[in-house]
């Protein structure tokens, strides 16, 4: 990796340059982008930036064999247990050994499913010709990648790698696994694997296949299945198109329209003291908030796990009210810092990535305790826009008028 090799051209001798070369060169050095981006929270402690209400522009599903469908067939319906009575009789360990089909983690899917949706819906996304944008968005990415960016100023453990390519006026952002994340994944303990399963099992206990249906916990838990919403929004000067997996929709939601009617389901260890709750707000709630706030999912329902794998309590959080829960604690994270940092990161990406080329990747890298840096890779193992996608969007021409004879 060669940090900042895109500046190499400026090192050429002056005498070989034409006046045009020199003009371009001076323009480039005037607009010289910074090489790194700081992540310190205090730098981003400013008023909350403009964030347009997220709008759902599409939906797609992945079936039990991880096949793409341009429909909402995998959407599930929120079906919580009755409010009255004691705790729900959920056994989150049930089926771990005999009714669990796991998605293969060795397949790098990249942005492919989202790109499939974009390719199939490109007419709907037609951009302004004068901006040189084929699609009317500055960025295309997964919601999960943006969640990681939002939480960066407060993250103390896990770094990230985000690959960016500029293609026909839109910046595509796709994550690569860090060496440390790969090691952690390969060395995951049996306990951690079971905890992951328990999160999926909780979803099965809380969801039905139809709006008036009831959950069926005797079935297999298959993590290939998923329903994704496609969202358009704007953060400051950046228009965004992203997709995220949605756990379920509440047919009885006080906010009946998507994405507000969606519910995110989470599990967490039951808490016994105010100190435990404060730690939960500081370290876990930031991720829950960022993930649901970005696509405009209005509620998060937590199932608190007892030591035996049962659910001892349910608690509902309204995403828009989370900032009220945390603002009393001066040591807590701030939503505005997360959003201002994300806007700054997207501006940084726009300044750095200016060559429109689907085989060119700028790899943005971050490790805790450091600023964000980047390296440049041409036609390498980091290239992520598939040929089928590049071809599908390259064949796009303005419609030729049909002259009747």
Question: Does 147 sit near ligand GDP (CB under 6 A)?
Answer: yes
Residue whose structure tokens are 């876990």: 284
CA distance 379 to 329: 48
Asked if residue 292 binds ligand GDP (CB under 6 A), the reply is no
Considering the rule CB under 5 A, would residue 94 count as an interface residue with Mg ion?
A: no
Cis peptide before 118, with omega less than 30 degrees from 0? no
CA distance 263 to 208: 13
Q: By the 8 A CB rule, do 321 and 136 touch?
A: no
Residue 294, CA distances (Å) to 97, 290, 313, 326, 355 in order: 35, 6, 27, 18, 28
- Does position 258 interact with ligand GDP (CB under 6 A)? The reply is no
Least Cβ distance, residue 300 to ligand GDP (angstroms): 13
Which of 113/334 has CB closer to Mg ion? 113
Helix residue spans in 189-243 (DSSP H): 190-206
> Which run of H or E residues covers position 165?
strand 160-167
Which of 226, 259, 296, 335 is close enough to bind ligand GDP by CB under 6 A?
226
Q: How many residues contact ligand GDP, by CB under 6 A?
A: 11
According to the binding rule CB under 6 A, does residue 142 interact with ligand GDP?
yes
Instruction: Tell me if 116 contacts ligand GDP by CB under 6 A.
Output: no
Mapped onto helix, strand or coil, the DSSP state of residue 398 is coil
* Spatial distance between the Cα atoms of 272 and 161, rounded to a whole number of angstroms: 37
Contact status: 367 vs ligand GDP (CB under 6 A) = no
Exposed/middle/buried for 136, CB within 10 Å: 0-12, 13-18, 19+? middle
Q: Which residue has the tokens 């193992």?
A: 381
247 binds, among Mg ion, ligand GDP, none (CB under 5 to 8 A by kind): Mg ion
* Residue 77 parent element (H or E): strand 77-78
Q: Is 67 in the site for ligand GDP (CB under 6 A)?
A: no
Both structure tokens of 72: 């909402």
**Stretch in the footprint of Mg ion (CB under 5 A) among 116-124, 261-269, 354-362, 387-395:** 261-269
The single residue among 63, 245, 356, 367 that binds ligand GDP, judged by CB under 6 A, is 245
Q: Kindly state whether residue 247 participates in binding Mg ion, applying the rule CB under 5 A.
A: yes
Binding segment toward ligand GDP, per CB under 6 A, in 80-88, 138-146, 170-178, 383-391: 138-146
Residue 355 engages ligand GDP in binding (rule: CB under 6 A):
no
Q: Quick one: which of 79, 117, 125, 143 contacts ligand GDP (CB under 6 A)?
A: 143
Instruction: Map the footprint of ligand GDP across residues 94-113, applying CB under 6 A.
Output: 105, 113
**Chain residues that interact with ligand GDP, rule: CB under 6 A:** 105, 113, 142-144, 147, 226, 228, 244-245, 291
Judged by the rule CB under 5 A, the positions of this chain that interact with Mg ion are 247, 265
């Amino acid at each position: 990796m060669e940090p900042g090799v895109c500046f190499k051209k400026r090192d050429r001798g002056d005498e070989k340059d034409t006046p045009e070369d020199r003009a371009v060169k001076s323009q480039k050095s005037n607009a010289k982008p910074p090489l790194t981006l700081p992540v310190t929270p205090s730098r981003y402690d400013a008023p909350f930036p403009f964030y347009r209400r997220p709008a759902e522009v599409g939906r797609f599903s992945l079936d039990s064999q991880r096949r793409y469908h341009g429909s909402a067939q995998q959407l599930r319906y929120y079906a919580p247990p009755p409010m009255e009575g004691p705790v729900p009789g959920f056994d989150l360990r049930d089926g771990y050994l005999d009714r669990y089909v796991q998605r293969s983690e060795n397949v790098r899917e990249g942005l492919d499913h989202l790109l499939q949706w974009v390719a199939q819906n490109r007419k709907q996304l037609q951009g302004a010709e004068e901006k040189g944008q084929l699609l009317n968005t500055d960025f295309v990415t997964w919601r999960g990648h943006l969640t990681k960016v939002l939480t960066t100023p407060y993250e103390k453990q896990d770094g990230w790698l985000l690959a960016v390519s500029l293609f026909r006026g839109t910046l595509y952002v796709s994550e690569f696994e860090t060496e440390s994340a790969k090691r952690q994944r390969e060395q995951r303990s049996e306990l951690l694997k079971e905890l992951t399963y328990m999160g999926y099992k909780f979803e099965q206990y809380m969801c039905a296949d139809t709006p008036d249906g009831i959950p069926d916990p005797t079935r297999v838990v298959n993590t290939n299945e998923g329903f994704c919403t496609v969202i358009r929004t704007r953060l400051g000067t950046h228009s965004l198109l992203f997709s995220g997996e949605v756990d379920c929709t509440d047919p009885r939601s006080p906010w009946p329209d998507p994405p507000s009617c969606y519910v995110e389901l989470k599990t967490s260890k039951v808490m016994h003291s105010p100190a435990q709750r404060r730690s939960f707000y500081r370290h876990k709630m930031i991720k829950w908030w960022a993930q649901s706030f970005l696509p405009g999912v209005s509620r998060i329902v937590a199932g608190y796990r007892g030591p035996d794998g049962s659910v001892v309590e349910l608690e509902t959080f309204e995403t828009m009210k989370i900032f009220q829960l945390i603002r009393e604690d001066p040591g807590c994270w701030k939503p505005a810092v997360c959003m201002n940092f994300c806007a700054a990161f997207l501006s940084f990406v726009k300044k750095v990535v200016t060559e429109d080329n689907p085989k060119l990747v700028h790899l943005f890298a971050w490790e805790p305790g450091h600023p964000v840096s980047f390296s440049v890779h041409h036609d390498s193992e980091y290239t992520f826009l598939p040929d089928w996608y590049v071809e599908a969007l390259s064949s796009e021409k303005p419609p030729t008028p049909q002259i009747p004879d």
